[in-house]
Amino acid sequence: MSEGRRPDDMVRITTPEQADAFIEHQYAAIREQVGDKKVLLALSGGVDSSVVAALLIKAIGKQLICVHVNHGLLRKGEPEQVIDVFRNQMRANLVYVDATDRFLERLAGVTDPEQKRMIIGGEFINVFSDEARKLKNIEFLAQGTIWPDILESERGIKAHHNAGGLPEDMHFELVEPIRILFKDEVRVIGERLGLPKSMVYRQPFPGPGLGVRCPGAITRDRLEAVRESDAILREEFEKNGLAGKVWQYFTVVPDFKSTGIKDGARAFEWPVIIRAVNTTDAMTAEVEDIPFNLMKRLVERITTEVKGVNRVLYDFTPKPTGTIEYE
């Protein structure tokens, strides 16, 4: 199955009936491939791995073992949602690993963005393979590879090997049930499988997570300011109808402080930068026109609710010249 290619004449999956036909076909294919053996999956809570998890849970139940690694750089409420949806609602076999301390210790004092990315990616493999070693008799590894990943790696744009990086001695046969799908099709399948809309239609979120939104050396207090301000921004966008309209929106807390006043006293604290952009392919991006009243509400909430923050700035820069993320 993992070698499968998208047939040239395959109709784009848009309707519930088409989704059901694909799902039924995959259940049979998965069962035929893995038999009664166990399958391991790194479940991040992103769209692709969540849809793969849901498909496999329904196809083979407890033969699937999901590992959710919390690297401490996830958004507020994300690990809780993964546990709630997969362990509590879908009754999945889920191993939850809180590796926050391990990641933050390795990242302490590291300022270079690419080095930060390498540490986060490398440590993820370490934590995941540590967990995999504890589990016995696993022959299969499931992955949320999708069709654009295959095309991009074939064209040499991006090396796509989600499994790549696992230690040499770990050999798994891959299970890639959404390999021939485009992203919009994955979302249709996810909804049909009963995943929450907030998971299926969520905005893009980078692998290194909030780590790249805490520019320079990551500290726990500044990371917390990023997480809390991001949660407020998401909540307000949701309430004001912007959540489904804006392609990507988040906050950044740069590593500098400025003078301010709180409760009549000098407050030397960080600013929060808000970024909200629209794009079709992330190669270029336009800034969202946020209503002024919403902006005032965000300033009010962030400066009163987020510890260590005394200003809120809006980034008006399109891509180019700015990239979407800050690192």
Query: For ligand XMP, which is the closer residue by CB, 150 or 267?
Result: 150
Which residues, 6+ apart, have CB-to-CB distance to 161 below 8 Å?
Answer: 153
Under the criterion CB under 6 A, does residue 58 sit at the interface with ligand XMP? Answer: no
Check binding of 93 to ligand XMP (CB under 6 A). no
Find the binder of ligand XMP among 208, 211, 215, 271 (CB under 6 A).
Answer: 208
Q: Does 191 bind ligand XMP (CB under 6 A)?
A: no
Is 49 a binding residue for ligand XMP by CB under 6 A? The answer is no
The candidate with the shortest Cα–Cα distance to 44, out of 199, 168, 188, is 199
Residue closer to ligand XMP by CB (options 16, 121) is: 121
User: CA 276 to CA 283: how far, in whole Å?
Assistant: 15
Identify the bridge partners of residue 309 per DSSP, sorted by sequence position: 270
Write the binding mask 239 to 278 for ligand XMP: x where contact by CB under 6 A, - elsewhere.
---------x------------------------------
Instruction: Sort 300 into a burial class: Cβ within 10 Å, 0-12 / 13-18 / 19+.
Output: exposed
Tokens representing 56 are 């496999």
Coil/strand/helix, residue 287? strand
Rounded to a whole number of angstroms, the minimum distance from the CB of residue 208 to ligand XMP is: 5
**Rounded to the nearest 10 degrees, what angle do helices 16-34 and 47-60 cross at?**
60
* Least distance in angstroms from the C-beta of 31 to ligand XMP: 31
Q: Of 106 and 117, which CB lies nearer to ligand XMP in the complex structure?
A: 117
Nearest alpha carbon to residue 249 among 225, 233, 266: 233
Residue choice 106, 117, 297, 311 for contact with ligand XMP (CB under 6 A) = 117
User: What CA–CA distance (Å, rounded) separates 173 from 139?
Assistant: 6
User: Applying CB under 6 A, does 110 fall inside the site for ligand XMP?
Assistant: no
The answer to the question of residue 88 lying near ligand XMP (CB under 6 A) is no
**Cβ atoms of residues 295 and 313 within 8 Å:** no
User: Is the dihedral angle over the CA atoms 199, 203, 208, 212 positive or is it negative?
Assistant: negative
Distance CA 224, CA 240 (A): 24
**Residue 325 binds to ligand XMP (criterion: CB under 6 A):** yes
For ligand XMP, which residue of 158, 282, 291, 307 counts as binding (CB under 6 A)?
Answer: 282
Choose one: 15-23, 75-83, 176-184, 317-325; the region binding ligand XMP (CB under 6 A).
Answer: 317-325
What does the alpha-carbon distance between residue 202 and residue 218 come to, in Å, rounded to a whole number?
25
Closer of 63 and 211 to ligand XMP (Cβ): 211
Calpha distance 324→327 (Å, rounded): 9
Under the criterion CB under 6 A, does residue 319 sit at the interface with ligand XMP?
Answer: yes
Q: Which residues inside 128-187 make contact with ligand XMP, applying CB under 6 A?
A: none
Nearer to ligand XMP, 113 or 308 (CB): 113
Question: Which of these ranges, 69-77, 92-100, 177-185, 318-326, lies near ligand XMP under the rule CB under 6 A?
Answer: 318-326
The β-bridge partners of 303 are none
Interface residues with ligand XMP (CB under 6 A) are 117, 204, 206-208, 248, 282, 319, 323-325
